[in-house]
Copies of this chain bind each other. A is one copy, B any other.
Amino acid sequence: MSDLTRLSINQETIKQWSLPELAEGCAKAGIDKAGLWRGPVQEYGVERTARLLGDAGIGVTSLCRGGFLTAPDPAGRARALDDNRAALDEAAGLSTDTLVLVSGGLPAGSRDLYGARERVADALAELAPYAAERGVRLAIEPLHPMFASDRCVVSTLSQALDIAERFPAEQVGVVVDTYHVWWDDQAPAQIARAGAGGRIHSFQLADWITPLPAGVLLGRGQLGEGSVDFRALRQQVEDTGFTGPIEVEIFNESLWARDGSEVLAEVAARYLEHAC
C-alpha cells in the first residue's frame, strides 16, 4: 500500500520534462502536487501553466524562486525588488501559496555577511506586504554553508528564522530542505522553533552524496543514496504539527539524462522506502 498523498515533485528533479510532460507524468503516477520554477513557467506562460496543471488535477506547492536581495547599490536593489514582485505575481497566478527565496551571495569584493543578511531583511520588509496582498508566503531557504559566498548568505535555519520572525508567520517563513540542514546539530531545535511559530512553509527532500561535482550545485543525491536520515528529519518536522506537502527537489545530471517516467517512479519508490 503506497501513500503518495503528501509527495510533491519539484520540476527541476525531472528537468528533462516539459510542463505538459510533467502534468501528464504526475497524473499517471498518482502524484497530485508539483513545485515549479519560474524559467519554464515564464516560457510556457503563467496562465497557461495554471490551466494545464489545474486540468490535470495537480496543485502547485511552491514556486522557485525569488530572492537575490543582497545588492548594496540602489539600482541593483530596485531591480531585485521588481523581480521579486514579478515572482509574487507569478506565484499568485499559479495559485501557489509559497514563493521560495534564495537570499543571494556576497556582492563582489564584499566580506560582510552580516551586512548582506541585513539587506535581505530590509528587502523583505518591502516585499512582505506585497506578498500578503496576493496570498503568497515568502519562504527563506537557508542554503548549505558551501553556498554562503556566491549564492545565499543565509546558511542555517537559525539565521533564516532570525529574519523571518521579524514578520508575521503568514507572510514570511522558512524552507526546511534536508540537503542544506542535515549536517547541522542545531537543526532539530530550529525545526521545532520554526514549526512552533507556524513558519515551516516548505519541506524539501534531497540526499547528500559525495564526491561533490565542480561548482557543487548539481551534486544532490537520489533519496537513500547518501547520508541524510530522512525519517528522522520528517519526524522532527511533523512533531511540530506540520501536515503540508513533502517536495522532492534533486538537481543531478544523471537523473536528467534518464527517462522521466523512470525517474519519477524511482523517486516515488525511494520516498516510500526512506521517508515514510
Residues of chain A touching chain B, judged by Cβ–Cβ distance below 8 Å, are: 106, 110-114, 144-146, 148-150, 155-156, 158-159, 183-185, 208-216, 226-229
Contacts and interface: CB of A to CB of B under 8 A. Distances in A.
Contacts of A215: 211-212
A148 B185 contact: no
Number of copies: 2
A226 B149 contact: yes
Most chain B CB atoms below 10 A, which of A183, A214, A215 = A183
Nearest to A159: B185
Contacts of A150: 210-211
Given A106-B227, A211-B215, A213-B214, A113 B185 contact: yes
A228 to B, nearest CB: 7
A226 B113 CA distance: 13
A148 B183 CA distance: 7
A209 B105 CA distance: 12
Contacts of A210: 149-150
A84 B136 CA distance: 55
A3 to B, nearest CB: 22
Given A212-B214, A212-B216, A227 B149 contact: yes
